[in-house]
Amino acid sequence: MSKLGVDSVKVDRLQIDVQDSPVGLVFTGDIDMEDPSTVLDPFFSKVHEGMTAGGIGEIQVDMTSLNFLNSSGIKAISKWIMQLGTTSDDKKYVIKLKHNPEITWQATSLPTLTYLVPGAVEVI
């Protein structure tokens, strides 16, 4: 079990590894299942709970090896980010999305997530 109280996930062609130092998530593979929210929503809820309970100020989310993310997957990530809009200031954290600019969907889609909750997401 990680510092966040969250285990890594492997389902279909998706692997999400949870790291402790620095606190982070590493996505590998594809998110192309019909309804990824059944996996991602509870996962991101646990990550959010772990971040706020632990007073952790930053999480790095490495998507450089995520080849495909469908619109339902983007929606699940957006829901996670939107939780920060209602989180008290003393429990807020920053999500740093590490992207691969050579993968078109990452270069075009990930930067738009920074507009959901100003200051909550950085694309690196």
The pLDDT assigned to 82 comes to: 96
| Residue labelled with tokens 């993310």 | 69
Closest to 16 measured CA to CA, from 5, 30, 3, 33: 30
Going from the N-terminus, what domains does the chain have, and what CATH number goes with each?
Answer: 9-123 (3.30.750.24)
Nearest to 80 by CA among 58, 96, 95: 95
What is the chain's pLDDT, residue by residue, as a tens digit (124 residues)? 688 899 999 999 999 999 998 899 999 999 998 899 999 999 999 999 999 999 999 999 999 999 999 999 999 999 999 999 999 999 999 999 999 999 998 999 999 999 999 999 999 9
pLDDT of residue 21: 86
What per-residue confidence (pLDDT) applies to 92?
95
Cα Rg for the chain, rounded, in angstroms? 13
